[in-house]
């Protein structure tokens, strides 16, 4: 009986720590704050990704594309923009 009385709070504490560990990534997701900027600058294919796969996948693709555009020279950007719009 004494073992149960001492063990129960420890098991409860362990379960609470596990729940905190699982919930932490869910609370730190800042994609809702980035949604207006995404919708203002997203292309039709990125909006389609948003509808099909959810916000996280669409934002990842959008920001990857934005980073690639910054890395490419200006001439290459204009050619890729033409192929994206077709």
Domain count for the chain, please give it.
1
* pLDDT at residue 59, as a whole number: 76
pLDDT tens by residue, 63-79? 888 888 777 766 555 55
| Separation of alpha carbons 52 and 54, rounded Å | 6
Cα atoms in the 13 Å half-sphere on the side-chain side of 7: 4
What range defines the domain where residue 46 resides? Answer: 2-85
Residues of the chain with pLDDT under 50: none
């Amino acid at each position: 009986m004494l073992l149960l009385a001492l063990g129960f709070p420890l098991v409860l504490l362990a379960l609470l720590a596990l729940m905190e560990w699982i919930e932490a990534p869910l609370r730190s997701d800042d994609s809702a704050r980035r949604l207006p900027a995404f919708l203002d600058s997203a292309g039709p294919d990125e909006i389609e990704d948003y509808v099909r796969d959810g916000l996280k996948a669409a934002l990842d693709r959008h920001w990857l594309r934005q980073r690639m555009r910054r890395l490419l020279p200006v001439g290459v950007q204009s050619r890729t923009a033409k192929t994206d719009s077709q």
